[in-house]
Structure 1
Amino acid sequence: MEAGNHTEVSEFLLLGLSEDPELQQLLFGVLLSMYLVTILGNLLITLTIISDTHLHTPMYFFLSNLSVLDICIISTTVPKMLVNVQAQRKDISYIGCFTQVYFFMIFSLLDNFLLTVMAYDRFVAICHPLHYMVIMNPHLCGLLVLMCWFITFWVSLLHILLLRRLTFCIGTEIPHFFCELPQVIKLACSDRLINNITIYVATALLAVLPLTGIFFSYSQIVSSIMRISSAGGKHKAFSTCMSHLSSVSLFYGTGLGVYLSSAVTNSSHRSSIASVMYTVVTPMLNPIIYSLRNKDVKGALRRLLRRAAPCLRGITSLN
């Protein structure tokens, strides 16, 4: 095949997770179920926080944003794959692929930054409890979220503009179930040095620095907790961080696992299967983590369901 200008490429081919038709149908059922559970779980968390005034605090403001991001992340990748499996197709348009790359980068980076902001929120709550509501005021919370959006918007736009300058061969096959930036860059027929350098720099700045911030926050949190004299006080302080720690471990653990598996093995198929962990499993588990380990959320969820029960019974009786 000869390399053509990228404007001549009308579509790419997504190879998906499996070529086996029977396994594809099984994957379709499993991923559709996981997608619906993720949407329902995160919507419930968001509606619970919005509807209950007891949860109108900085911690739950950030959690509601995280839930919306989880819906966006999984909705960027899974629906297209489900459509392709059901229609027995592999194609994705050139514009559709680049759009998927762009929005997946935005939502993934936002998830990364938001987890860092939530770590700072826990740091202020435990290390400076008397000044918590003064420091974490609504203005600062909104400003932190807007700043995260601003950074991720421009970083993602830079990657897309650099991606647009590459040329691709007609009939390019992407060994993945969605258009992921590193996978697309690997398949370019033109020089991709600038793109690779930009990825390495962006990874160093936008992954290492937030993770360093999380480690610093929790080092201060652990130091403060150790100075608490009572065992009950230590347990209460530490329990407020457990849900966030679980989400951080899940996000960075699965993401790091994917890239380590890509570095260790040359199998793109294994890498794409590993990617399911942080694109599908992590968004699905986040609402479970925050609802099961948080008494406030469980209580607010029960109150929401009690208020919704009469309406549901009324709809059922009308039918």
Structure 2
Amino acid sequence: MIRSWLAYLLLLLLDALTWISIDGYLYYLLLRVLLMLPLLSLFLFIAGNRFLKLQLKTSKKGCVIHMPTSLPLLVCSGIRIQGSWKNCFYESSETISLEVKHREQKLQIPKLGSGKYELQLNSIQTRDLLGLFRKTQSWDKEVTTFCFPQPCTVTQVQYTNLLQEARQSLTGVFSSDYELKEHHEGEPVRRIHYKASYRLQKTMVREFQKEESAVVLLHLCFPQEQKICECLLAIACGICRKASPQDLVRIRWRTAGGRQTAELQGPQDMEGFLRKLLSMPRFCEVSRDSQDALYLDEAFAALFEQEAGI
């Protein structure tokens, strides 16, 4: 801003030289123009700030900053936002500073790990067209929450690539935030109960290695939106799906609104699907009577009866 004012004063000085070298009429004409430009820029700057509104929308790789109108971009030479990303699970954060140049601009998510993120915009700074005026306003909106990577609908599943990759990279110990019931020989159903563990990948793969023909019954509590749960349940079914990949798989589960059904058919590369499942935040435990919870019903075991030959 100081440079802009120095440049403006330099123009006034050059205009004064026209009084000496050329003509007084030309001097007054240029002087009026130079005096009107800051006033016009200030008027447009004030109008643009009144229409400046930002909306945050979720995208696959971060979020999208959306402006309802492009007027602020036309009357401002720069719009800069300051804020911070916070990963709620790992309790890590990263500051952001972004120059907004389009009505819809992507804000990339930082590499702080998968999970639930909170985006806090602290301030918005705008400059007029000439760079003579600047305004900084604090962001008084509530913290916006996102989950990354975003779960996507899975319609075809395949287990081979995942199992092969997991067998090569199994290290570490199990986490203490899950319960694994002992499997007795002759029992047709292996019951595994997870409490939203980020160690889900290692645990499930190890159990499949022990007995790949076992039927797996999952009890998962997801206090989230139904669409997200449908995606996660479809992915969970892909974990258990190992035989007859061409057959149709039906998923059934109960919600507060009644029984739900989804269908999966055909094989598909499942690389990275566990990242989608593990991307959900640390869930609170909910009872089976909770109206806000979605959980897998006991009938989920019936999906794998044909596979286990029960």
Return the index of the structure with the highest Cα Rg. Answer: 2
Per residue, is there more helix in 1 or in 2?
1
Q: Which has the higher strand share?
A: 2
User: Normalized against structure 1, the TM-score is what?
Assistant: 0.20
Q: Which has the higher contact order (CA 8 A, sep 6+)?
A: 1
TM-score (norm 2): 0.20
